[in-house]
Chains A and B, each alone.
Chain A
Amino acid sequence: MALIVSFKKFLDETGNIARFTGRFFSVGMKPRYENRELLNQCYNIGYLSFPLVALTAFIMGLVLTMQLRPSLVEYGVESQLPVMVGLAIVREIGPVITALIFAGKIGSSIGAELGSMKVTEQIDAMTVSGIKPYKYLVATRVLATTLMLPMLTILGDGISLFGAYLGVNIRSVTSIDLFFLQVFKSLDFSDVLPAIIKTLFFGFAVGIVGCYKGFNSSKGTQGVGVSANSAVVLSSVLIFIIDLLAVQITELLGLN
């Protein structure tokens, strides 16, 4: 019985999120556009999460290189280290780790911000003042997360590769030119483009889920905490699901 009830709840929630997402394309994309708020959100979302993304990306590149080296040495292909690390970072680890960090930082802050606006009637106050809250609050944030995550990922990838360069240099000496030349020569269009495109979807998911959870926050300060928390959990899971779909699709398209 309990299983049926929770399954029904799951379906309800899925339907609600789908409808909420649909409104992004129907309501959110119509004029008049909230350009100022969009810029504001791009700044908030992009700039403020950059330090965290940079730090994790750097450490990841460094650690990944140090971990990979022994295996490569064992097979006698240590010279391939830059290529291996570069591919891993650009194709998979960079996008996913950046997205997860982003979900943790931005998903929760959007969930908490909109949640507290909801429970203190600020969203109702906007409606009364002639502002469409979905357009002003949701569409701008979702657009900002969708645009900013790919940029953060590209920056993060670059920093990761720099970390990897330092990792390579711990044991052997390579010039930075040579390292990057080796990395870029091994990467082609079909490695980079799908990886960046999927981060658009990761960003969209983080934005929609954060806004949805905030908009549907229940009364009280506890409700706000729950919104923030469930926004992070759900968007993290979605990132993995989208990643799984993305790999299938690129394979179908023969881009592998």
Chain B
Amino acid sequence: MEAVKSKSVIVIKDLVKGFGDKVILDGFNLTVEKGSNVVILGKSGSGKSVLIKCIIGLLAPDSGSIHVFEENIPGMNEDELDQARSKIGFLFQSNALYDSMTIRENLEFPLLRHWVDIKKEEVDRLVSEALENVDLLHTLDMMPSELSGGMLKRVALARTMILRPEVILYDEPTTGLDPVTSREIENLILKLQKKNHTSSIIISHDMNCVKNTADVVVLLLEGKCYIQGTYQELEQSTDQNIKQFFE
């Protein structure tokens, strides 16, 4: 196995992924350092969701490697993948809360599945704590259909955090929310990151969100990492491909 710097939690090399004859990712490279927030910027349909779904093993890449904690995701079998996934959180763009279950059951589900021997009191405690973190303890016994869009996003965030993942992948966490709620979600992301010392990849084209959360910004263009830098560096660029996001 190739040597990977121990401080890097995610190292992606030459990632290629296509559907049929349409190539979506075409030699994508990325390194995420421990404790940092990497924001991936890119037009709609450029393959941002495909990228993070490859990282968590929901999609299998055509070639290339994705090392998370120095282990190659595409080379794993089902059991190894389950193991790896318990350390990776994923916030879905559509929240993906189970709409036939209460909020409590939604949060219990990953706990009971990944930590098979966990005790009932421990489950209750973790569920309450996760909901408290997002100020929604009172929704414990409600159904997802009774909550607003912003509340659903917060519950989804609580469910993502409940296993205390060391790496979190956010798929457009603020898209479709009003500006005030968006700021709330950003602050929650930052707060929980500080609290749990996580590293994250955040997909976004909401420039406020990018500005507030990014340590590093990566522009995904034509399947490749077009440029990587801080928000300020990219903001000052005169390259048309970069400038269009800041206008």
Contact = CB atoms under 8 A, between A and B. Distances in A.
**B partners with A:** yes
Given A130-B85, A130-B86, A124 B96 contact: yes
A119 B96 CA distance: 9
Contact of A129 (B53, B100, B113): B113
B82 to A, nearest CB: 5
B113 A128 contact: no
B49 to A, nearest CB: 9
B110 interface: yes
Contacts of A128: 56, 58, 85, 88, 90, 110
15 contacts: A120-B96, A121-B92, A121-B93, A121-B94, A122-B96, A124-B92, A127-B58, A128-B56, A128-B58, A128-B90, A129-B85, A130-B85, A130-B86, A130-B114, A131-B113
A121 B92 CA distance: 7
Nearest to A122: B96
B226 interface: no
A121 B96 contact: yes
Interface in B58-100: 58, 82, 85-86, 88, 90, 92-100
Interface string A108-136: 00000100110111101101111100000
A-side interface size class: 10 to 19
Contacts of B90: 125, 128
B113 A130 contact: yes
Interface in A46-78: none
B101 to A, nearest CB: 10
B98 A125 contact: yes
A127 B60 CA distance: 14
A137 B115 CA distance: 21
Contacts of B56: 128
Interface string B94-130: 1111111000000001100110000000000000000
A125 B113 contact: no
B-side interface size class: 20 to 34
A130 B96 contact: no
A130 B118 CA distance: 15
Contacts of A121: 92-94, 96
Nearest to A27: B78
A97 to B, nearest CB: 30
B82 A122 contact: no
Interface in A206-227: none
A43 B82 CA distance: 30
Contact of B109 (A113, A127, A131): A131
Contacts of B109: 129, 131
Please provide the 4 A-B residue pairs with the shortest distance between their CB atoms, ordered closest to farther.
A125-B96, A129-B110, A121-B96, A130-B113
Among A117, A120, A128, A131, find the residue whose CB has the most chain B CB atoms closer than 10 A.
A128
A120 B94 contact: yes
Contacts of A119: 94
Contacts of B93: 121
A124 B113 contact: no
Interface string B42-55: 00000000000100
A209 B95 CA distance: 27
Nearest to B82: A130
A212 B98 CA distance: 19
Contacts of A113: 100
A135 to B, nearest CB: 11
A120 B152 CA distance: 13
A29 to B, nearest CB: 16
Nearest to A127: B58
Contacts of B94: 119-121
A124 B114 contact: no
Contacts of A122: 96-99
B203 to A, nearest CB: 14
B114 A129 contact: yes
B176 to A, nearest CB: 13
Given A130-B82, A130-B85, A124 B53 contact: yes
